[in-house]
Structures are given as C-alpha cells and as structure tokens.
C-alpha cells in the first residue's frame, strides 16, 4: 500500500460520518451533524543491522545483530499507522430558513469528567490539610 492509499483510508475512517452519519433532509428539515475529529499518524523504515551492546566482566563488546532466517543478512523493514478519535458534539437543524444548534449530550463523558473533578478536589484538600498540619 502506498502513502496516498494510506491517507485516503485515514480520511475515510476519521470523519464526522463515523460518529453521526451524513447530513440528511426529512420533512423539509435539514440535519447537519457536527463532531470533534482528531487524528494522527506516522511511519518509518530502516535497514541494515543493529548494533547490540553486551556487558560481560566489565568489558563492553559490540556485536552485529542479524536474523538467521535471512542467512546472515541484516534486517530491513518499514511500517506505518494512524489513529483517531471522533466524538459527536451536536447538530445544526435548518428548518424554515432558521438554523438552531442541538447539542449532543454524552452522559458518559459528563460522569467521567465529574469523577475526575471530584478526585482532584479530594486530593487537593488532603494536600492542604497535610501542609497546614506540618
């Protein structure tokens, strides 16, 4: 697979349609989904042998690392990948030439954020008490 194909696949997978679907119209009302989309990727390649350092009796010895399956030839390779997050935010609703925003409520995100805030406040209070009593 070449770089262009990889980027096309990434663009297909990291899009608003993964969270909501495409914009659609029903009974004269246009729904336009909105999502937070974030992604990244990388790749690389290498060739030649790698030098391994082994310590024995305080003498450092360098050895050439090769793969026996390749009959003593150094290993070569390349790779790449990407990842992303798509989170629904809400939708624009267009009706009778009026546009309104309808937020998506994700209860899980709200609960997790509240738990992190509670934990932070609890730890802060404990630290303050330790400082006052020290």
- pTM for this predicted structure: 0.46
The pairing of strands 59-65 and 29-46 is unpaired
Phi, psi (deg, nearest 5) at residue 3: -60, -40
Q: Which of 13, 15, 14, 33 is nearest to 23 (CA)?
A: 33
Q: Could you tell me the residue ranges of all domains in the chain?
A: 3-103, 105-134
Joined together, the tokens standing for residue 128 give 């303050």
Q: What is the mean pLDDT of each successive set of 10 residues along the chain, which is 134 residues long? A: 74 68 87 84 72 49 50 72 80 93 87 93 82 72
């Amino acid at each position: 697979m070449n770089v262009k194909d990889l980027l096309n696949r990434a663009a297909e997978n990291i899009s608003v349609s993964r969270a909501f679907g495409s914009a659609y119209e029903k009974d004269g009302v246009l729904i336009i989904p909105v999502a937070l989309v974030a992604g990244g990727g990388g790749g690389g390649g290498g060739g030649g042998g790698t030098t391994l350092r082994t310590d024995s009796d305080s003498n450092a010895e360098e050895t050439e690392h090769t793969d026996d399956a390749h009959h003593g030839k150094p290993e070569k390779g390349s790779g790449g990948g990407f990842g992303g997050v798509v989170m629904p935010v809400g939708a624009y609703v267009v009706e009778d030439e009026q546009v309104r925003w309808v937020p998506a409520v994700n209860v899980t995100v709200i609960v997790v954020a509240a738990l992190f805030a509670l934990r932070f406040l609890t730890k802060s209070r404990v630290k303050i008490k330790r400082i006052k009593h020290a």
